C-alpha cells in the first residue's frame, strides 16, 4: 500500500499550504496500473476524502489506511468517508471528521453540489474534466444542447464561459433540480440555462423546439435498464443530430463503458450520421491512468457539416 500513503502525504501537504484545493482523484486503482489495488479509488472534495471500495479489501488493509490517515490529517479540517460500492446500496461509513451539511466539488471559482453518503454517485465525475475543458474553450456565444445532463456540470461550465444558452435534458427531475442549484450556487444568469425533465428517446419534438443548436453534448449512462442501453440506443441519438443542428456544429460524444471500444462509437457515427467528421479523441485526464485505453472514458469530438 506504499503508493497510497505517498499520495495521502502529498494531499496533506496541499491542505497545509493552500486554503482552497480543486477537487481531484488522489488515487486511481481501477485502471489496473497498481497491481493489487484495483479495488480502490480515493477522491478529495475539500474537506472530504472519499475512499471508494469496489471489492472487499484484504484483511487489515482498511485499518492501516485509517491509521495512516489519522496520522497525516487534522480531523478538524479533513473528513474520511468510506463507501463500499460492492455492497447493496453502496453504504458509506464516516471514519473521522464532521461531514459538511452541504458538500461540494471545487473547480477553480466554480462549485458543484454533491450528495455524499446518500447515493452511489457523488454528483460530479472527476474523470470528465477533459470534456469540461473542451466545453469551456468552445462555448462562447453558442447554443448548446446537453443531453443526459444529470446534475448539469457541463452547463455550469458552459454558461460561465459565456454560452448563449444551454438546454439541459435528463429524465431525472431530482438530478435537474441539483443542476439548477449548481447554477444558482455560482451566481449564473438564469436566462442562459433551461431544464427539461424528459425521456430523451421519446421527446425529440420538444428538444428540437428549443434549437437549433451549435453544440450537442451526448453523455448517456452506459446501461440504465428501462431508459438507455448504449449498445442499442446510442445510434438513436446520433441519427437525430442533423435535425438538431441544421446549420451544422460540434458534437462531444461521451461513452463510459469499458466493454465498448472507441471503434464502437466511431462505427455508430459512420453508420448513422455520415456527415459528421471525426476530429479527435480528447486525452484522458492524467489522474485516471489505465492499462487499456479502450477501457477508459471515451470523449470523441465530431464536426457536423451541411
Nearest Cα to 157, choosing from 117, 115, 209, 215?
Answer: 215
Residues 24 and 165 in one domain: no
Residue 112 lies in a domain: no
DSSP 248: -
Question: Domain residues for 154?
Answer: 126-304
The Cα–Cα gap between 93 and 103 comes to 16
Residue 152 in domain = yes
Identify the H or E element spanning 34: none
138, 52: one domain? no
Q: Are residues 169 and 208 in the same domain?
A: yes
**Quick one: pLDDT at residue 223?**
64
**pTM strictly above 0.85:** yes
Q: How many domains does the chain have?
A: 2
Q: Quickly state the pLDDT bin for 1 (edges 50, 70, 90).
A: low
Residue 172's CB is within 10 A of a number of other CB atoms, namely: 15
Q: Among residues 140, 291, 304, which one has the least CA distance to residue 218?
A: 304
Same domain? 168 vs 37: no
User: CATH no. for residue 64?
Assistant: 3.30.750.80
Q: Do 35 and 184 have their domain in common?
A: no
Measured CA to CA in angstroms, residue 138 lies from 135, 150, 251 at distances of 5, 21, 11
Average pLDDT of the segment spanning 213-241: 89
Q: Tell me the pLDDT of the chain averaged across its residues.
A: 94
Cβ(1)–Cβ(58) below 8 Å:
no
pLDDT of residue 123: 86
Within this chain, do residues 18 and 154 fall inside the same structural domain, yes or no? no
Q: DSSP for 58-93, please give it.
A: PTTHHHHHHHHHHHHS-TTT-EEEEEETTSTT--EE
C-beta of residue 213 within 8 angstroms of C-beta of residue 145: yes
- Each residue of 246-286: pLDDT tens digit? 999 999 999 998 899 999 999 999 999 999 999 999 999 99
Amino acid at each position: 500500500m506504499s503508493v497510497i500513503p505517498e499520495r495521502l502525504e502529498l494531499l496533506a501537504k496541499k491542505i497545509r499550504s493552500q486554503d482552497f484545493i480543486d477537487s481531484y482523484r488522489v488515487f486511481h486503482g481501477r485502471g489496473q496500473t497498481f497491481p493489487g489495488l484495483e479495488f480502490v479509488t480515493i477522491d478529495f472534495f475539500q474537506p472530504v476524502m472519499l475512499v471508494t471500495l469496489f471489492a472487499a479489501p484484504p484483511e487489515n488493509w482498511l485499518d492501516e489506511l485509517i491509521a495512516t490517515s489519522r496520522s497525516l490529517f487534522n480531523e478538524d479540517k479533513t473528513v474520511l468517508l468510506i463507501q463500499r460500492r460492492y455492497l447493496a446500496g453502496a453504504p458509506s461509513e464516516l471514519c473521522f471528521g464532521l461531514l459538511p451539511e452541504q458538500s461540494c466539488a471545487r473547480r477553480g471559482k466554480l462549485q458543484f453540489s454533491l450528495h455524499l453518503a446518500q447515493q452511489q454517485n457523488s454528483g460530479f465525475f472527476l474523470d470528465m474534466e477533459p470534456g469540461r475543458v473542451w466545453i469551456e474553450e468552445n462555448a462562447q456565444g453558442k447554443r448548446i444542447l446537453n443531453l443526459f445532463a444529470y446534475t448539469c456540470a457541463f452547463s455550469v461550465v458552459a454558461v460561465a464561459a459565456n454560452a448563449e444558452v444551454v438546454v439541459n435534458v435528463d429524465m431525472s427531475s431530482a438530478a435537474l433540480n441539483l443542476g439548477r442549484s449548481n447554477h444558482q450556487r455560482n451566481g449564473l444568469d438564469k436566462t442562459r440555462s433551461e431544464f427539461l425533465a424528459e425521456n430523451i428517446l421519446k421527446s425529440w419534438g420538444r428538444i428540437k423546439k428549443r434549437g437549433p443548436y451549435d453544440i450537442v453534448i451526448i453523455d448517456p449512462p452506459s446501461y440504465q435498464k428501462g431508459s438507455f442501453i448504449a449498445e442499442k440506443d446510442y445510434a438513436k441519438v446520433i441519427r437525430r443530430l442533423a435535425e438538431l443542428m441544421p446549420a451544422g456544429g460540434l458534437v462531444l460524444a461521451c461513452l463510459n463503458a469499458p466493454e465498448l471500444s472507441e471503434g464502437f462509437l466511431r462505427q455508430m457515427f459512420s453508420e448513422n450520421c455520415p456527415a459528421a467528421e471525426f476530429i479527435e479523441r480528447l486525452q484522458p485526464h492524467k489522474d485516471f491512468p489505465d492499462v487499456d485505453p479502450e477501457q477508459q472514458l471515451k470523449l470523441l469530438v465530431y464536426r457536423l457539416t451541411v
